[in-house]
Amino acid sequence: MSYKLLIINPGSTSTKIAVYEGEKEIFQETLRHSSEEIGKFKSVADQQDFRTEVILGILKKKNIDVKDMDAIVGRGGLLKPIPSGTYEVNDSMLKDLKENVRGEHASNLGAIIANKIGNSIGKPAFIVDPVVVDEMEEIARFSGIPELPRKSIFHALNQKAVAKRYARESSKKYEDVNVIVAHMGGGVSVGAHRKGKIIDVNNALDGEGAFSPERSGGVPSGDLARMCFSGKYTLEEVLKKITGKGGFVAYFNTNDARVVEKGLMEGDPKATLLYNAMGYQVAKDIGAAAAVLNGQVDAIILTGGVAYGKPMIDFISKMVSFIAPIVVYPGEDEMLALAQGAIRALSGEEKIMKYE
């Protein structure tokens, strides 16, 4: 059976929507929201009616009947740490998202809007592998400061999707392989996948691991502490240096890896060193993940938007190809990954998870 699915992926100033029939995309569009429109609302949760109306309006304009959907799938938001899987939206989830128990972010609207539309047509609403998926082993949580345990916040949706894709294309089960996935986008996360679980991964939001187009990555902690107490910066300014204005933005005033790559191709020494430095740090993280897996690695998967850059792939591959074969899945097909998660749940291939 080919399930018909409405996929909703909210961003800070846009909402991506798509309709899938099975894994075939029927329609996709990015709905842009002006700062004036968004600025009318006191909180992200208050935007739910506005965004829902915009979504339904576009579907009507495209002659797509929302009542034909078998399920509505939203991008997962900032929830408490949970195991990987497809979760049916319930009251506990909605309460945590609306109260911003783990933080306020546009992605919190995914489940809220999916539930709103699902209820209106009597169909289930799901989220799939939100950024807070946590399968880390206890030994991986130690940081050296008891008050600061390591956290699992990363590109779970794409990491899981590409790992399962690799297993499927290799005629294996995800639960039977060991892979390292390096997601390289606005942020970088490198996960050690062992037999179906991501047992260790860096916090890609708050400054662990390699630097990226707009993240600082791990920085000298003593110097960071001195910067914080220097009186030159507010807390907000320091946090912005870590997430948003770090990495390529700090060194090259751009968060577009293609701009830095172009500089490399044109022989700009600053761009070349910066670009290669990111690859160097990603490769080091891959090496660390290989140690976590005791060297038993079936493949190293390079993914995310930066993986479209051949110089980056070549640089990293030269450093880590001795560990395992390199597989490249460039980009981040979030909409398809969300659809695939719902299909696995609806078909009974995977158990529908409950958020508590």
pLDDT reported for residue 39: 87
Band (188; pLDDT cuts 50, 70, 90): very high
Domains 4-134+334-354 and 158-330 alike in fold: yes
Place of tokens 């290989």: 290
Cα–Cα distance measured from residue 79 to residue 353, given in angstroms and rounded to the nearest whole number: 14
Cα–Cα distance measured from residue 57 to residue 61, given in angstroms and rounded to the nearest whole number: 6
Task: Name the average pLDDT for the chain.
Answer: 96
CATH architecture type of domain 4-134+334-354: 2-Layer Sandwich (3.30)
Band (137; pLDDT cuts 50, 70, 90): very high
Q: For the chain, how long is the longest CA-to-CA vector? A: 62
Q: Is the pLDDT of residue 113 over 90?
A: yes
pLDDT reported for residue 101: 87
CA distance readout (Å), 104 to 126, 128, 186, 207, 255: 20, 19, 19, 19, 23
Cα–Cα distance measured from residue 253 to residue 330, given in angstroms and rounded to the nearest whole number: 24
Average pLDDT over residues 259-287: 98
Q: Are 306 and 210 in contact (CB under 8 A)?
A: no
pLDDT reported for residue 343: 97
Q: Is the pLDDT of residue 316 over 80?
A: yes
Q: Is the pLDDT of residue 69 over 80?
A: yes
Per DSSP, helices labelled H in the chain are 35-39, 48-61, 91-98, 109-121, 156-169, 221-228, 235-242, 248-252, 257-265, 269-292, 310-320, 334-347
Band (53; pLDDT cuts 50, 70, 90): very high
Q: Residue 191: which of 171, 170, 216, 166 has the closest Cα?
A: 166
Q: Which residue type does 263 have?
A: G
319 CB-near residues (< 8 Å, 6+ apart):
279, 280, 283, 286, 287
The better pLDDT of the pair 44, 275 is held by 275
Burial of 234 (0-12, 13-18, 19+ CB in 10 A): exposed
Q: Are 198 and 292 in contact (CB under 8 A)?
A: no
Q: Is the pLDDT of residue 11 over 90?
A: no
Band (347; pLDDT cuts 50, 70, 90): very high
pLDDT reported for residue 216: 97
Band (164; pLDDT cuts 50, 70, 90): very high
pLDDT reported for residue 102: 85
pLDDT reported for residue 326: 98
Q: Is the pLDDT of residue 1 over 90?
A: no
pLDDT reported for residue 287: 98
Q: Are 209 and 202 in contact (CB under 8 A)?
A: yes
Q: Are 77 and 11 in contact (CB under 8 A)?
A: no
Q: Does domain 158-330 have CATH number 3.30.420.40?
A: yes
Q: Which residue type does 353 have?
A: M
Token output for 320: 């880590």
Beta bridge partners of 10: 15
* pTM of the shown model: 0.91
In the chain, where are the structural domains located? Answer: 4-134+334-354, 158-330
Q: Is the pLDDT of residue 305 over 90?
A: yes
